[in-house]
Amino acid sequence: MPHASATTSSHLLKKDHLKGFLRKLAKEYRLVAPVRNRHNDVLFTVIDDLDAAEIELGEPPQNSLKQFFLPQQERLYSYTNTPDGYDFRPTQTTIPPTVYFGVHPCDLSAVLYMDVVFSRRQRDPFYLRRRQGSVLIGVNCNSPAPNCFCNATGSGPFLEMGSDLQLTDLGDRFLVEIGRAPGHALIEHWQGFFSPSGDKDSAARYQAFLEARGRFSRQVHVEQAIRQLEAGTVPEQVWEELSLRCQDCGGCAYLCPTCTCFTISDQQLDATSGQRLRSWDACTFGGFTAMTGGHNPVQAKTSAIRQRFLHKLRDDVRQNGRPSCVGCGRCVSVCFGGTDIVRFVERACQGSL
């Protein structure tokens, strides 16, 4: 078998060789991939036993990489307050170099967005220490799930950039495209697993892309909703309906791969010590904006809901040129009352109810 040269930008990996390749990777990295567990749920999981793990590349995992880079709850510091002073010590955590394998385009786009949020204005050390040393191996989506609409947010079903290696399922083989330098290094290091790809493979990839694009079951007019938000023409009843139906669970923000709002709070351990925690927060919670003394500049539930969609669809477009919604559809299935982004877009585009 002719060995691949790392200088070409795309290669082939036979499906039979995938486990072998992952086994090699797992020796040098911590391996995280979407795994279908015995309860039939698909979660990004740290894989300890590759043979026992059923890696699932079709159904999108229910958690996203946010859980790994911005955990639901993380200890930032331990502190002590003694006559000697009030002292903060950052939590020492060693995050092993990790390969995130099988990341869908929506989740890859989300990581790129988080990278911007956590390093644009200030470099967030706690995010970056988890993010640094991570290798992202993406897989393009051949068959979007029923709630998916990444085609409407420009973040799928196929991705040209963002990952270190990008895989496309071509039946018996993966087309492997090199994104960034770490991907290049992986191919270089394990050349034996890869063979050169040809025009036929590129054509197959294009064909797969066309087919995937035709498989979306939802038409979500994100662009139109963005225009409405920008013009301020979303009818008031839309906000009222959504806020009546919102059950305040925060699930949309928690499962969203790009919702990065967090809170920082202290937890007392004893009289002289405690810890400072950072945890996920949701802008739809009433307490998100409440100030001490009870005054809340966001008084109505309608304003809080409005803020959520404004941020994702208007403010982030203004700032980054694209919405921070990546069309993964997680908030659609997580929503109790049906006040998710898809319902919002539908309602906003209807103009009135």
Partner 1 sequence: MPQPSTDIYLPRQAKVEQIEVENSQISTFVLAFCDRSDNDAFRYQPGQFMLVSMPHCGEAPISISSPPTRPGNIHLSVRQAGKLTTAMHGLRVGDTIGLRGPYGRPFPMEQLEGKDLLFVAGGIGLAPLRAVVNTCLDQRDRFGALTVLYGSRTPSDIAFQSDLGLWRKQGMDCRLTVDAAEPGWDGAVGLVTSLLAGLKPELSRSIALICGPPLMFRAVLGKLAAMGFSDEQVLTTMERHMKCGVGICRHCHMDGKLACVDGPVFSLAELRRLKIMELDG
Partner 2 sequence: MHDVLTTCVYCGCGCGLYLHVEDGLVCGSQPSRHHPVSRDNLCVKGWHIHESVNHPDRLTTPLIRKNGVLTPATWEEALDFTAQQLGRIRDQHTGKAIGVLTSAKCTNEENYLLQKFARTALGTNNVDHCARL
Partner 3 sequence: MTNSINEIENAEVILVSGSNTTEAHPQVARRMLAAVDRGARLIVIDPRRTRLAECAHLHLPLKPGTDIPLLNAMMRVLLDEGLADDLFIEMRTENFLALRDMLNRLDLEETAALTGVPLPLIRQAAQLYGRARKAVICYCLGITQHVCGTENVQTIANLAMLAGQIEKEDTGVDPLRGQNNVQGACDMGALPNMLPSYQGVHNEDYREKFERAWGMRLPEATGLSLVEMTHGGPQGPIRGMYIMGENPMLSDPTLNKVEETLRGLDFLAVSDIFLTETAQLAQVVFPAACFAEKSGTFTNSERRVQMVRQATQPPGECRADSEIIMELSARLGYAMKYGSSGEVMEEIALLSPIYGGMYHDRLEQGWGLQWPCWDRNHPGTPFLHKYYFTRGRGHFMPAGHTAPGEAPDQEYPLLLMTGRIYHQYHTGTMTRKSERLTRECDHAVLQINPTDAKGLCLRQGEPVRLLSRRGEITLAASITDQVASGMVYTTFHFHEAPINQLTNDAFDSGSRCPEYKVCAVRVAKVAP
Contacts of residue 232, defined as CB under 8 A and 6 or more positions apart, other chains included, come to: none
Q: Which does 286 bind (CB under 5 to 8 A by kind): partner 1, partner 2, partner 3, none?
A: partner 3
Q: Which does 88 bind (CB under 5 to 8 A by kind): partner 1, partner 3, partner 2, none?
A: partner 1
Return residues touching partner 2 (CB under 8 A). 37, 39-43, 45-46, 62-63, 67, 71-74, 247-251, 254-255, 267-270, 285, 333-336
Select the residue interacting with partner 3 from 244, 268, 300, 333 (CB under 8 A).
Answer: 244
Two tokens, residue 221: 């007019």
Residue range at the interface with partner 3 (CB under 8 A); choices 122-130, 186-194, 263-271, 344-352: 263-271
Residue range at the interface with partner 3 (CB under 8 A); choices 10-18, 54-62, 142-150, 239-247: 239-247
Contacts of residue 90, defined as CB under 8 A and 6 or more positions apart, other chains included, come to: 76, 77, 125
Q: Which does 251 bind (CB under 5 to 8 A by kind): partner 1, partner 2, partner 3, none?
A: partner 2
Q: From the CB of 246, what's the least distance to partner 3, in Å? A: 10
CB 261 within 8 A of CB 280: yes
Q: From the CB of 288, what's the least distance to partner 3, in Å? A: 9
Q: Which does 337 bind (CB under 5 to 8 A by kind): partner 3, partner 1, partner 2, none?
A: partner 3
Contacts of residue 118, defined as CB under 8 A and 6 or more positions apart, other chains included, come to: 70, 124, 127, 128, 131, 260
Contacts of residue 19, defined as CB under 8 A and 6 or more positions apart, other chains included, come to: 50
Closest to 152 measured CA to CA, from 103, 229, 104, 213: 213
d(CA 201, CA 25): 25
Closest to 79 measured CA to CA, from 254, 231, 264: 264
Q: Is 232 in the site for partner 3 (CB under 8 A)?
A: no
d(CA 19, CA 61): 19
Q: From the CB of 81, what's the least distance to partner 3, in Å? A: 19
Q: Is 43 in the site for partner 3 (CB under 8 A)?
A: no
Q: Which does 245 bind (CB under 5 to 8 A by kind): partner 2, partner 1, partner 3, none?
A: partner 3
Contacts of residue 89, defined as CB under 8 A and 6 or more positions apart, other chains included, come to: 77, 78, 79
Q: From the CB of 158, what's the least distance to partner 2, in Å? A: 24
Q: Parallel, antiparallel, or unpaired for β 262-270 and 194-196? A: unpaired
Q: Which does 315 bind (CB under 5 to 8 A by kind): partner 2, partner 1, partner 3, none?
A: partner 1
